[in-house]
Copies of this chain bind each other. A is one copy, B any other.
Amino acid sequence: MTPSSPTVLVLDAEPPPRLGRLTGRARIVHTDAAHLAGHLPAADVLLVWDFTSGAVREAWPGGGPRPRWVHTASAGVDHLLCPELAASDTVVTNARGIFERPIAEYVAALVLAVAKDLPRTLEYQRERVWRHRETRRVAGTRACVVGSGPVGRAIVRTLKALDVTTALVGRVPRAGIHGPADLDRLLSRADWVIAAAPLTERTYGMFDAHRFDVMQPSAFFVNVGRGPLVDEDALAAALTRRWIAGAALDVFAAEPLPAESPLWGLPGLLVSPHMSGDTVGWRDELSVQFVEMYERWAAGRSLPNVVDKQRGYVPGH
């Protein structure tokens, strides 16, 4: 390592794999949430490996120099953006490219499992009951995917491959993407409503009582974006009152979901532990992605996946 090697501060609970490739080219300092503030002034780069932590948002506003580049090993950046970081010259990047395909497959798995009544099949098996049922064809059904970033677009591609008719809704209407003005109309005729939007001021709580009210009684709602996109009480009421047929949440306002949460036992609700994007090898992929971005950064080249800190996500094509 040369004396001039940049310092990479890593916020982690357990260390990322494969950072050994940076040996001699960076000074790696590991920290946890409690010690983050003390390390920030000496860091050139901050790698937010523990993306479940809100520590950056809390520590960033403190005094002293700040890293010039912050990378998060996640698609969403809601856990780290604060007004001071947004107003600064620091570049923020995300892990675009790692999670899209796994999340799209996960959504397809949910859609198909629900259409084919698989959860009930598992229940009947436990009871050793042979009960034939008619299931649904997925081809020809309609999906409304909310969030026109890479995750939303990957979901659309995968559902289209299954011959589902899809509509994609984004912040502003453009070619092939509907704007918010179309949302209620699209929700009212969707068999599948998929939330895959970033968490921003505009999207916070967007799936509220009104939105569940306009959906069809046969609609199935899936959230693979961020928990606070959904008013969880409104969803619970919609399921209890049968405004919609069912839902699957992979993300929650509070994670891990507390054992005493009523969501665990809500009829028609499938709960999974924020894992839709995490396929075998994902940690390796995230590390390799960071190392490659670091090499570009150290060489003075431009970075990919740069977050628009005002909007709260990487602007799409």
Report the Cα distance A161→B138, complex, angstroms. Answer: 14
Q: Which residue of B lies closest to A277 (CB)?
A: B135
Q: Which residue of B lies closest to A123 (CB)?
A: B122
Q: A108: CB under 8 A from chain B? A: yes
Residues on the B chain within 8 Å of A275, using CB: 132-135
B106–A135 touching, CB < 8 Å: yes
A window 254-282: CB within 8 A of B: 255-257, 259, 264-265, 270-275, 278-282
Q: Which of B125, B139, B270 contacts A121 (CB 8 A)?
A: B270
Provided the pairs A113-B118, A256-B130, A257-B130 are in contact, do residues A137 and B105 lie with their beta carbons within 8 angstroms?
Answer: yes
Provided the pairs A116-B106, A139-B105 are in contact, do residues A122 and B270 lie with their beta carbons within 8 angstroms?
Answer: yes
Provided the pairs A118-B118, A122-B119 are in contact, do residues A278 and B128 lie with their beta carbons within 8 angstroms?
Answer: no
Q: A115: CB under 8 A from chain B? A: yes
How many Å from the CB of A221 to the closest CB on chain B?
Answer: 16
B109–A113 touching, CB < 8 Å: yes
Q: A301: CB under 8 A from chain B? A: no
Report the Cα distance A90→B176, complex, angstroms. Answer: 55
Interface size on A, residues (CB 8 A): 49
A113–B113 touching, CB < 8 Å: yes
Q: Which residue of B lies closest to A161 (CB)?
A: B161
B282–A134 touching, CB < 8 Å: yes
Q: A297: CB under 8 A from chain B? A: no
A105–B158 touching, CB < 8 Å: no
Q: Which of B108, B115, B132, B278 contacts A135 (CB 8 A)?
A: B278
- Number of chain copies forming the complex: 2
B109–A270 touching, CB < 8 Å: no
A window 108-150: CB within 8 A of B: 108-110, 112-113, 115-116, 118-119, 121-122, 124-125, 128-139
Report the Cα distance A273→B125, complex, angstroms. Answer: 9
Among A102, A115, A257, find the residue whose CB has the most chain B CB atoms closer than 10 A.
A102
Among A121, A270, A282, find the residue whose CB has the most chain B CB atoms closer than 10 A.
A121
B278–A131 touching, CB < 8 Å: no
Q: A162: CB under 8 A from chain B? A: yes
Report the Cα distance A256→B255, complex, angstroms. Answer: 43
Residues on the B chain within 8 Å of A255, using CB: 130
Q: Which residue of B lies closest to A272 (CB)?
A: B121
Q: A96: CB under 8 A from chain B? A: no
Residues on the B chain within 8 Å of A309, using CB: none
List 5 other contacts, CB 8 Å, given A105-B115, A122-B122, A128-B259. A108-B108, A109-B116, A131-B273, A133-B273, A133-B278
Q: Which 8 interchain pairs have the tightest Cβ spacing?
A: A109-B112, A130-B256, A161-B161, A109-B116, A128-B264, A130-B273, A137-B279, A128-B259
